[in-house]
A and B are shown apart, each in its own frame.
Chain A
Amino acid sequence: MIPDTSEELHILAGEYVLGVLEPGAAREVEAALPHHAELRRAVAFWQERLQPLAMLAPPAEPPPGLWQRIESALAPGAAPARPAGLWQSLALWRAATAAAAAVAAGLALYVALAPAAGPAYVAVLHAPQQVQPAFVATGSSGGLLLRAVAEAQPPGDRGFELWAIPPDAKPKPLGVIPPTGRIELGASPLALGAGTTLAISIEPKGGSPTGQPTGPVVFVGTLLPAK
């Protein structure tokens, strides 16, 4: 239970940062962090304010060769994986996808839009730290069409799942993407509009068991109004 009162919330956050919570309670705090801004602020407060106390532990020389161990524990040549608390970094992706805005605007001229009912939108989905498009989505309030524009397959026993993330809201599942890389959705119950982020995560075949993304987000893009 994450408490409602600010006082209790700060005590809980303080106990979490001190590391005195029972494992179950600590996990509960971790699970709540991505959705609970005040809890996040409280944890950041303690992390920041108690930090000077860490100086009471005198620095010491780590064993030689530790950096080599760390380096070999990182996948060779790999870019950083997406963070576990990945929904926290949404702001970062949104910034990253801004770079793809120009590409999206250009593509909109060439991509046949789904039959227009209301304003039309387009999104180019790409890997979070890259600009090459992997999927293109076009849509309107009448539906959404997503197509692969590059070879992208999930690992063997897994599938791609498409999510809509309205500004300041939790991800909503749109569906599992078939191996063809093409998915067409009818009139969406969501108000898909400019600023909605589309994301594709790797999930068990059949989709996320929790209704929220459980695997890494591999492609992301933001819907923009098409001219």
Chain B
Amino acid sequence: MVMRVVASLIDRARARAAPVDKEARSMHGVAQPRRVMDQKLAALASLDALLLAVQRGSRAALERLYELESRRLYGIALRITRRPDLAADALQDAFVQVWQNAASFAPERGNAAAWLTGILRFRALDLVRKLGRETPSDDPALGDRADEPDMAAAIDLRLAASALRRCLEALEEKQRRCIILAFVDGLSHAEIAARLPAPLGSVKSWVRRGLLSLRSCLES
């Protein structure tokens, strides 16, 4: 409710400022009052409200979304692609897609952060599957295999006491590793098989069984 109110505030502000904006746009380099108004409101808004404002065509809301989410999303893209250039492309593609597809976001169907993560991951996976992943380097900043043994510690630190953590811990070790390597590192079945190493068929069935157990645990 609150976010709808904020989004409609943004709209009303836009409507009020629209005539001024037309003038401002015709004069290059002159400050645009609508932009300022938009930005003030966008600075206050939640991710949900920002996405609803993007649905209505607010560039300022998209820009604010970028300010709030780009570091998190770029980190995810970098982890999947392991290449700064591809990670930047993935982030760019994702934001263009957010702009174009904002209408398909519905707050009652899921939270905004998960929706954004989904878009970004698919863009990053697309790029990496098309252009290939660089052979893992030793650069720890790119999140290479060196940090994998610490995965359990990372889960400990970052997931705190969530249902997901409890349910991941309940999985068999192999199933858990497969699901994390797929989701966090964006590895395909074959790449997981090479990484573990393990037969491809086993990896496929660990992923399946891991998903099954995870679902029944998360839903219980």
Contacts and interface: CB of A to CB of B under 8 A. Distances in A.
Please indicate whether A and B come from the same complex rather than being unrelated chains.
yes
Interface of A: 7, 10-11, 14-15, 17-20, 23, 40, 44-63, 66-67, 69-71, 73-74, 77, 79-86, 88-89, 91-92, 128-129
28 contacts: A10-B211, A17-B118, A18-B179, A19-B122, A19-B182, A19-B183, A40-B109, A45-B215, A47-B117, A47-B118, A48-B110, A51-B117, A53-B168, A54-B117, A54-B184, A57-B76, A59-B75, A62-B70, A62-B91, A66-B91, A66-B92, A70-B91, A74-B96, A80-B103, A83-B101, A83-B104, A92-B106, A128-B103
Contacts of A45: 215
Contact of B95 (A49, A54, A60, A70): A70
A7 B207 contact: no
A92 B108 CA distance: 12
B75 A63 contact: no
Nearest to B125: A19
B183 A54 contact: yes
A70 B189 contact: no
A80 B102 CA distance: 8
Taking residues whose C-beta sits less than 8 angstroms from the other chain, chain B's interface range is 35 or more
Contacts of A46: 211
Contact of A67 (B70, B183, B211): B70
Contacts of A48: 110-111, 114
A11 B63 contact: no
A57 B75 contact: yes
Contacts of A20: 182, 188-189, 192, 207
Contacts of B103: 80, 82-83, 86, 89, 92, 128
A23 B184 CA distance: 19
B109 A62 contact: no
Given A60-B74, A62-B88, A89-B104, A52 B162 contact: yes
A58 B76 CA distance: 7
B177 interface: no
Pick the most buried of A15, A55, A60, A89: most chain B CB atoms within 10 A of its CB. A60
A62 to B, nearest CB: 4
Contact of B115 (A47, A62, A83): A47
Main secondary structure of the interface of A (DSSP, over half): helix
B212 interface: yes
A16 B122 CA distance: 10
Pick the most buried of A18, A59, A74: most chain B CB atoms within 10 A of its CB. A18
Contacts of B54: 80
Interface string B80-99: 10001001100110011001
Contacts of B84: 63
B66 A70 contact: yes
Contact of B74 (A61, A74, A77): A61
Pick the most buried of B25, B63, B104, B106: most chain A CB atoms within 10 A of its CB. B104
Contact of B183 (A40, A53, A129): A53
B136 to A, nearest CB: 15
Interface string B127-167: 00100000000000101000000010011001100111100
B66 A67 contact: yes
A51 B114 contact: yes
A151 B19 CA distance: 23
Contact of B88 (A23, A63, A91): A63
Contacts of B59: 71, 74
A56 B155 contact: yes
A98 to B, nearest CB: 15
Given A11-B211, A51-B114, A59-B72, A18 B218 contact: no
In the complex, the 4 A-B pairs of residues with the closest C-beta atoms, listed nearest first: A57-B79, A14-B211, A79-B57, A83-B101
A52 B214 CA distance: 14
